[in-house]
Structure 1
Amino acid sequence: MSRYAFKESCLSASRQSGVILQPGGLVGRPLLFGEVLFDEFMDGSVVLGGAPFNVAWHLRGFGLDPLLISRVGGDVLGDRLLERLRAQQLDTEGIQRDDAHPTGRVRVTLVDDQPLFSILPQQAYDFIDAAHLPPLDSAHSRFSLLYHGSLAVRNTVSAQALAALRDSGLPIFIDINLRPPWWSLGDIEALLAGGRWLKLNHDELAELSELAGQTVNDLLHGARSLCNRFGLQTVIVTRGSQGAVAVTADGMAIIDPVPVDGFTDSVGAGDAFSAVVLVGIQRGWALATALRRAASFAAAVCATRGAIPDQADFYQPFVDSWKR
């Protein structure tokens, strides 16, 4: 019997390993909504980023065909971003242009190898226009799920566009990124109420639930509390260098950390993790399998500068290993 017990019950190791993320998988294209931007580092380097962008980039690398909904400025950075999307063979149908607001930028400072983000206001991705979204009347036949974060609702314009997408009825994967001062508890709770899957880190879980501490058992109880309160199917909690835990309606999974070979920075590690979990949802993987594969890929991304790799062959070893 597992030594990690819920208040409600004690789960066996077999139940831990047998839980499926999405029985039967999903058919269709992943639909992603939110920010695309450039991360500006202290050494002057500039790297493409933004959680939805990062996740879409990884999904394409894994062979999926995601559609990213965002907005960029009618500026040089916007042109550069679109060029990179096309080079990665990512569909640009969902990328709007904005002549009034600049392409998103974030200043990144590394403190003890952890990124601190200074997110600029009034960026193009804050003004995603609901009137220019792809047709949603056939959303269920075209798309498999909707992925979004929490930064997407800091501005009412993009929040309205996201609400229209959420009303399409697609199952929703929420990837929380609590970036002060750009969030409120009320906004986050409204997002969680309509979600199916939730991913957040241990610090964010502490913000959203009453945790007694940061032990594995504390995290499991906190995740279970969110599951029950908001009717979520799965809550995944990443723990940085300590692995991850997850709970579902009928089970749980706990994974150990994966060592990083040649650590560079952890920018985008959570997005890398989320991307692999989305692959697992699409393909009907076991929860524990998805978490292990996600942790392994996130560790590899930590050995690169920024959130996305430059090497075209970066993804193939992971794709090959998943076939075995």
Structure 2
Amino acid sequence: MTDPDPNPDSEFDPDILVAGEALVDFLPDSAGPLAEVETFSRRAGGAPANVAVALAHLDAAPWFWTRVGEDPFGDHLAETLREFGVPDRFVERDPAAKTALAFVSHDEEADRSFTFYRDGTADTRVEPGGVPDGLLDSVEWVSVGGVMLAAEPGRSATLDLAERAAERDCTVVFDPNARPELWENADRDFSDLAAEMFALADVVKATPEDLDAAGFDADSPEDLARRVTEAGPHTILLTLGGTGAFAFSTEEAPWDAGAASHSGYDVDPEDTTGAGDAFTAGALAALAGAVGDAGRTEEGEVSLSEVLGFANAVAAVTTTAAGAMAALPTLEEVRAFRE
């Protein structure tokens, strides 16, 4: 049996597939420990969902594979994704499982921590083969995150997707997104599963904390990035908080090998939720050539320093408003911010 037409809508022909969790974030109305917060605001979230919506904001809407419950929170997520221009062909609905929730707490500097309600939720129940081979034959980039590795069958589905994408020479982008609270009772170690993904990935976007959880440490961003490339990927994008971002690529990369950095932008952050996902989307869009000349030299070649500058701008604008998806900027807003 052949796969169904991967693109039944002729006007929509993306080069990018994003896969992973969609969940509902509950954002606190005040800073402080979660136990002391009395009121919350509901927002659509989940790192891959944020990446998909951010790409849509940047006029580079991707396919998005996820699973949400047939419940009011799932209705909210499905409708939000549609409103933001993300196609729903691979947004699955699960009648037997609830939609995942995450409660966020902020400190006075707007840094956040998460408490997840994600035991057996719909997003963990995607199964291998949910994205047909025909769809993978039609895209060039596949982006996945590490949260999906914490539970089965989503873990196997994520690894299967990355393996089939790699076999088809798609560029596989992996964000480890280490969340220690999700791994306290897991049946596999995060570092072991991250290693499996590094072996399949071409591009890794991570924080030093993500890589420490995956078993990597070093005295400098460049040494850290070099160590990770030895595990498989040819390009590493490191986000470094207030000091900006760093990139390193090997001779196997389709762009120039070497190191690059960008110091970031000074903004007054209101909420850092989703900033890393915004960076991922900005870098992915720039590397894929989906945002015009962003990330390119005057000669039209990929420049890692330009990619970092664009991605940092997307992330910086996102932190100036509350809510991951609601705060994501348009391409025009990013360009205006950089002028």
TM-score by length of structure 1 reads 0.83
Distance 2:335 2:140 in 1: 20
1:257 corresponds to which of 256, 259, 264: 264
Q: 1:161 to 1:206 in 2, by over 3 A?
A: closer
Q: 1:181 is matched with which residue?
A: 181
Q: 1:161 to 1:258 in 2, by over 3 A?
A: same
User: Structure 2 matches for 1:305-324, cutoff 5 A?
Assistant: 305-309=322-326, 314-318=330-334
1:101 and 2:97 correspond: yes
Q: 2:152 is matched with which residue?
A: 156
Distance 1:275 1:108 in 2: 22
Q: Is the 2:126–2:153 contact (alpha carbons within 8 Å) kept by the matching residues of 1?
A: yes
Alpha-carbon distance, 1:301 to partner: 0.4
Give SS of 1:181's match.
helix
Alpha-carbon distance, 1:317 to partner: 2.7
Could you tell me which amino acid in structure 2 is paired with residue 239 of structure 1? L
* 5+ long unaligned stretches in structure 1: 1-26
Q: 2:75 is matched with which residue?
A: 79
Could you tell me which amino acid in structure 2 is paired with residue 286 of structure 1? S
1:295 and 2:303 correspond: no
User: Structure 2 matches for 1:148-297, cutoff 5 A?
Assistant: 148-168=144-164, 169=167, 170-183=170-183, 184-213=190-219, 218-228=220-230, 230-249=231-250, 250-260=257-267, 262-283=268-289, 285-297=302-314
Alpha-carbon distance, 1:161 to partner: 1.6
Give SS of 2:133's match.
coil
Q: Is the 2:14–2:63 contact (alpha carbons within 8 Å) kept by the matching residues of 1?
A: no
Q: 1:21 is matched with which residue?
A: none
How many residues align? The count is: 288
Q: 2:34 is matched with which residue?
A: none
Alpha-carbon distance, 1:84 to partner: 1.3
Distance 2:192 2:215 in 1: 13
1:41 and 2:39 correspond: no
Could you tell me which amino acid in structure 2 is paired with residue 227 of structure 1? T
* 1:222-261 Cα distance to aligned partner (Å, 9 max, x none): 1101112x1211011111111111111020101112111x
Alpha-carbon distance, 1:163 to partner: 2.5
* 1:190-241 Cα distance to aligned partner (Å, 9 max, x none): 111110000111222333355354xxxx11101101112x121101111111
Distance 2:55 2:72 in 1: 26
Could you tell me which amino acid in structure 1 is paired with residue 259 of structure 2? M
1:125 corresponds to which of 120, 123, 126: 123
Once the two structures are aligned, what percentage of the paired residues are identical?
Answer: 26
* 1:267-289 Cα distance to aligned partner (Å, 9 max, x none): 11100000010011111631110
Give SS of 2:153's match.
helix
Distance 2:335 2:57 in 1: 9
Q: 2:112 is matched with which residue?
A: 115
* 1:289-319 Cα distance to aligned partner (Å, 9 max, x none): 01011111111100010212368x7442325
Q: 1:233 to 1:84 in 2, by over 3 A?
A: same
Q: 1:210 to 1:189 in 2, by over 3 A?
A: closer
Distance 1:310 1:111 in 2: 19
Distance 2:213 2:86 in 1: 35
TM-score by length of structure 2 reads 0.80
Alpha-carbon distance, 1:52 to partner: 0.5
Give SS of 1:71's match.
strand
Alpha-carbon distance, 1:89 to partner: 2.2
Give SS of 1:31's match.
strand
Distance 1:29 1:308 in 2: 21
* 5+ long unaligned stretches in structure 2: 1-12, 30-39, 184-189, 251-256, 290-300
Q: Is the 1:94–1:134 contact (alpha carbons within 8 Å) kept by the matching residues of 2?
A: yes
Cα root mean square deviation, aligned: 2.1
Could you tell me which amino acid in structure 2 is paired with residue 246 of structure 1? A
Q: Is the 1:205–1:237 contact (alpha carbons within 8 Å) kept by the matching residues of 2?
A: no
